[in-house]
Amino acid sequence: MINQTSDTNELNEAINEANNTLNSLGTSPFTNRAYESLKEKIATYIGQIITESIRISKRHKADLVSQSHIETASDNLISKKRSKLNYLSGTLGGIFLGATVSNIFGMLVLNQAFNTSGIIITIALGIIGAFLIAINVNNE
């Protein structure tokens, strides 16, 4: 229990130190609303990085949170901001590849003559879909 109290005190000290540093800068480059919003975002980030680093340490079955856990937590929080674009590229790539497979299957099953533009569009959808999925996989 004593260890948990000292940990809480250290976390409170870290938050207070961040607030003191922010207060020492003053509000001169910020409007009052922007300054308050900045303080809220800093407090939110501190809470998120603490929570994420604890989760990572538990995943690694560590007794204490190490520096590498904090660095991984910071990377995770930063990369989550970019993941929406990755998610979109993966989704669009899947849709395009799905359309390509559907067209190819239709061409094979129907056994009809198809025009050149349909074949070119099918090939283009396949290439674009594969490219978007490759971007998604590379960024993950």
Q: Is 132 helix (H, G, I), strand (E, B) or coil?
A: helix
Return the closest-CA partner of residue 22 out of 6, 46, 3. Answer: 46
Q: What is the DSSP letter of 27?
A: S
Return the closest-CA partner of residue 96 out of 121, 66, 126. Answer: 126
Tens of pLDDT along 88-110?
A: 888 999 999 999 998 888 888 88
* The pLDDT of residue 1 is above 50: no
Structure tokens at 87: 């998610």
Q: What predicted TM-score, i.e. pTM, was given to this entire model?
A: 0.49
Tens of pLDDT along 12-68?
A: 777 777 777 777 776 677 788 888 888 788 878 888 888 888 899 999 998 888 889
